[in-house]
Amino acid sequence: MKAYLIEKYGDRSAVRAAEVPDPRPGPEDVLVEIPAASVNPLDFRIRDGAFKRILPYRLPLVLGNDLAGVVVRVGPAVTRFAVGDEVYARPDKDRIGTFAELIAVHQDDLAPKPAALTMAQAASLPLVALTAWQALVERTRVRPGQKVLIHGGSGGVGTVAVQLARHLGAHVAATASAANADLLRELGADLVIDYRTQDFEELLDGYDVVLDTLGGETLKKSLRVLGPGGKVISIAGPPDAGFARELGADPLLRQAMNALSFRTRRRARRRGVAYSFLFMKASGEQLAEITRLVDTGKIRPVVDRVFPFAQTREAMEYAEQGRTRAGKVVVTMA
């Protein structure tokens, strides 16, 4: 089959098209033909080797973390899906590879594709929607009336998180450029802060939850807009010991991750708030909940641009250079 892979860690020039063997599904695996996949910042970081210490992939490695497709074969122990089913998924972190014509995915990581969406629209959702779900539902359990701040509101995670927080009954603030303010209001934001001309720290206080997609100084300021007992969930800040435990990391790596986040956690404790790092995990069960929200009109995908499969490298470069106006970049296979 055709795929886009890396044979060594490096910059964008490390990505190349190649012919690779078709995947061999295990007893509980579903073989999916992939008409559409989407690009995520995680793809660049894996390509660069940023996670090689904590995610020791074997090279060569097919890239890609999102897919929508059609079931073409099921393992003998599969009970949830049948040939011909339309599905979407973020495969498990150890089994990525959606920039390809086929992939074998464990049945627990798959969900039925939202009926109203095209393959391209569906492919844009799994990773970012699961990230938003795990931050706002699983970790912080956002309740009606709470105040939630979403950084990078017009990004892939942000556009879904704004809609999900609104569905959960929260008052939603989001940071973004002024050009995307109208879009975010349509998605459910009560307040849009132009990060170029306004300082969110001067405008907000007493928030219950911040979803940080930017890290750095934004993360530091986010701790200061929380009320007592508030929580910052970051996908861009320093990893913590909880993440190390989820990975099953050795004691030395756990200690190193704990050290990386020590200052941030100390600042949080001094203010009576909490910080945690989130690296989303695959979950077909949670994705099925998201399917229901999409099918009932509570969440809709935002797709910036669609590239053909032959231009997967260009699609990655377009997203990596920050040329996306809002939402996700998608690759479709002929």
DSSP states of 129-170: HHHHHIIIIIIS---TT-EEEESSTTSHHHHHHHHHHHHTT-
- 113 falls within a domain: yes
- 191 falls within a domain: yes
Per-residue pLDDT of the chain (334 residues; tens, 9 = 90+): 999 999 999 999 999 999 999 999 999 999 999 999 999 999 999 999 998 888 889 999 999 999 999 999 999 999 999 999 999 999 999 999 999 999 999 999 999 999 999 999 999 999 999 999 999 999 999 999 999 999 999 999 999 999 999 999 999 999 999 999 999 999 999 999 999 999 999 999 999 999 999 999 999 999 999 999 999 999 999 998 788 788 777 788 788 888 889 999 999 999 999 999 999 999 999 999 999 999 999 999 999 999 999 999 999 999 999 888 999 999 999 7
Amino acid at 315: A
- Residue 48 has a pLDDT of 95
Of 149, 43, 138, 160, nearest to 91 (Cα)?
Answer: 43
Asked if residue 326 and residue 191 are part of one domain, the reply reads no
* CATH code at position 239: 3.40.50.720
* CATH code at position 120: 3.90.180.10
Residues 201, 149: contact at Cβ < 8 Å?
A: no
| Tokens coding 282 | 């695959």
Asked if residue 318 and residue 272 are part of one domain, the reply reads no
Asked if residue 158 and residue 120 are part of one domain, the reply reads no
- 285 falls within a domain: no
Asked if residue 79 and residue 216 are part of one domain, the reply reads no
Residues 83, 59: contact at Cβ < 8 Å?
A: no
- 292 falls within a domain: no
Amino acid at 93: K
- 315 falls within a domain: yes
Asked if residue 263 and residue 143 are part of one domain, the reply reads yes
- The total of structural domains in the chain comes to 2
- 294 falls within a domain: no
Amino acid at 90: R
Asked if residue 82 and residue 15 are part of one domain, the reply reads yes
Is 263 strand, coil or helix? helix
- Residue 217 has a pLDDT of 97
- Residue 267 has a pLDDT of 96
Close Cβ partners of 262 (under 8 Å, ≥ 6 residues apart): none
- 242 falls within a domain: yes
Close Cβ partners of 58 (under 8 Å, ≥ 6 residues apart): none
Residues 97, 3: contact at Cβ < 8 Å?
A: yes
- 288 falls within a domain: no
Asked if residue 182 and residue 116 are part of one domain, the reply reads no
- Residue 248 has a pLDDT of 77
* Proportion of the chain in helix, strand, coil states, percent, rounded to 5: 35, 25, 35
Full-model pTM: 0.96
Asked if residue 22 and residue 78 are part of one domain, the reply reads yes
Asked if residue 319 and residue 308 are part of one domain, the reply reads yes
Is 221 strand, coil or helix? helix
Asked if residue 232 and residue 257 are part of one domain, the reply reads yes
- Residue 242 has a pLDDT of 82
Domain hosting residue 133, numbered range = 127-277
Asked if residue 138 and residue 43 are part of one domain, the reply reads no
- Residue 140 has a pLDDT of 98
